[in-house]
Amino acid sequence: MLSHSSSEATEAVLQTFYDKLEDFSVAPLWTVQEDVLVSEPKSKALPHLWRWSELRPQAMRAAELVGTADAERRVLMMLNPGLDGRIATTNSLFSGLQIVMPGETARAHRHTPAALRFMVDSKGGYTTVDGDKVPMLPGDLILTPNWNWHDHGNDTDSPMIWLDGLDIPLVRMLESVFFEPYPEDVQPITQAKDFSFLKYGAGSLTPAWQTSDSSHSPLMHYPWDKTCEALQGLAPATEGSPFDGVVLEYTNPTNGGPAFPTMGCHVQLLRPGESTKAHRHTSSTIYHSVEGSGHTIVDGQKLSWEPKDVFCVPGWTYHEHINASDTESAVLFSFTDAPVLQSLSLLREQAHPDGHQS
């Protein structure tokens, strides 16, 4: 009959053995196994909120002090206070606030991290993605898939500010970051204006003469007016999700999948006075308040948000949303690393046993 073995080695003998193992660049797993194989994950990232009222003046000041000739991108990084100085907003996602002033261009380049832009404040302007000049109006979502040439331009008389979302922390962890500047400051426009929207923006209607096997959405531009129309039309007709209200995903129109293989994008509407139930999932999420005000309770912490604020929810952290108004709807945009976890069979979700956090 088999049984567990035991040893009478003293602590001193064991420590001498462990010290000797370092000479071979090895170490005993059994001394750290309880730290590695935990019963459930606990993110080092903390729930945190960045206020638009505080960040916009800093973005404007940055525009005064730093020109686009001095910075590849004029971005204020939203760094999580729990991640020890890492360039990260959650463990695998990065968010920042980018500003381009009237008459400026942010020079063309490409990189392996995928990027999204959610327009916060502008009267127009554009991003050119691989020769496709895409307009940028408030509420618009613009995609920049990895290794696509892209530059930004402001041809209006007002600053344009948007929320950047990238998978930089994940790609850096995988040691797969590549970057290349374009030979000129601005790439040529080689397609009809907003061509990806002309081609794929009809939703259920896609070009019949070709197929796309790309892992990312071929639609670079999701205009806010179409998004808002879908939300407002659906809200009276459905209860929606008990955890997220009326929530829609920005999908790849050719296969119904996420916008990127590494990041999914959502928009949700909370009806007047609506309070969702609490749940948690292994994916982390970064939220941007588009309209309305309210608060989100994250791991027992109340984060009160106003229009244009940004906050993050670390993975496997209970959270629930509350619309503070009895008369006005609230709308949140968000992006998440759920597609990565889904592809690795690591995406897990759990409702709070009491429905709400105490």
Query: Residues near 262 by Cβ (< 8 Å), separated by ≥ 6?
Result: 114, 167, 170, 171, 337, 339, 340
The whole-angstrom separation of Cα 108 and Cα 150 is: 5
Query: Residues near 247 by Cβ (< 8 Å), separated by ≥ 6?
Result: 240, 241, 266, 267, 268, 269
For 27, 33, 315, the CA distances from 10, given in Å and listed in that order, are 18, 20, 41
Report the half-sphere exposure of 95 (CA within 13 A, side-chain side): 27
What number of helices (H) and strands (E) belong to the chain? 7, 22
* pLDDT score recorded for residue 46: 98
**Segments of 123-217 assigned E as strands:** 126-129, 132-135, 141-144, 150-153, 160-166, 179-181
* pLDDT score recorded for residue 358: 82
What single-letter DSSP state applies at residue 31?
Answer: G
* pLDDT score recorded for residue 102: 97
Nearest to 303 by CA among 290, 278, 320, 283: 320
Q: β-strands 264-270, 221-222: how paired? A: unpaired
Query: Residues near 15 by Cβ (< 8 Å), separated by ≥ 6?
Result: none
Q: In what order do the strands lie in the sheet containing 126-129?
A: 132-135, 126-129, 150-153, 105-111, 179-181
* pLDDT tens series, the chain, 358 aa: 788 888 889 999 999 999 999 999 999 999 999 999 999 999 999 999 999 999 999 999 999 999 998 999 999 999 999 999 899 999 999 999 999 999 999 999 999 999 999 999 999 999 999 999 999 999 999 999 999 999 999 999 999 999 999 999 999 999 999 999 999 999 999 999 999 999 999 888 888 887 777 889 999 999 999 999 999 999 999 999 999 999 999 999 999 999 999 999 999 999 999 999 999 999 999 999 999 999 999 999 999 999 999 999 999 999 999 999 999 999 999 999 999 999 999 999 999 999 999 8
Three-state DSSP at 308 gives: coil
Residue 127, beta-bridge partner list: 134, 152
* pLDDT score recorded for residue 214: 81
What is Dmax (Cα atoms) for the chain? 83
* pLDDT score recorded for residue 34: 92
Q: Which residue has the tokens 């070709």?
A: 210
What single-letter DSSP state applies at residue 25?
Answer: T
- Hey, what are 72's tokens? 């590849």
The whole-angstrom separation of Cα 291 and Cα 330 is: 5
- Hey, what are 347's tokens? 């995406």
Q: Contact at 8 Å (CB) between 219 and 212? A: no
Q: Return the ∠ at Cα 301 (arms to 300 and 307), rounded to 5°.
A: 135
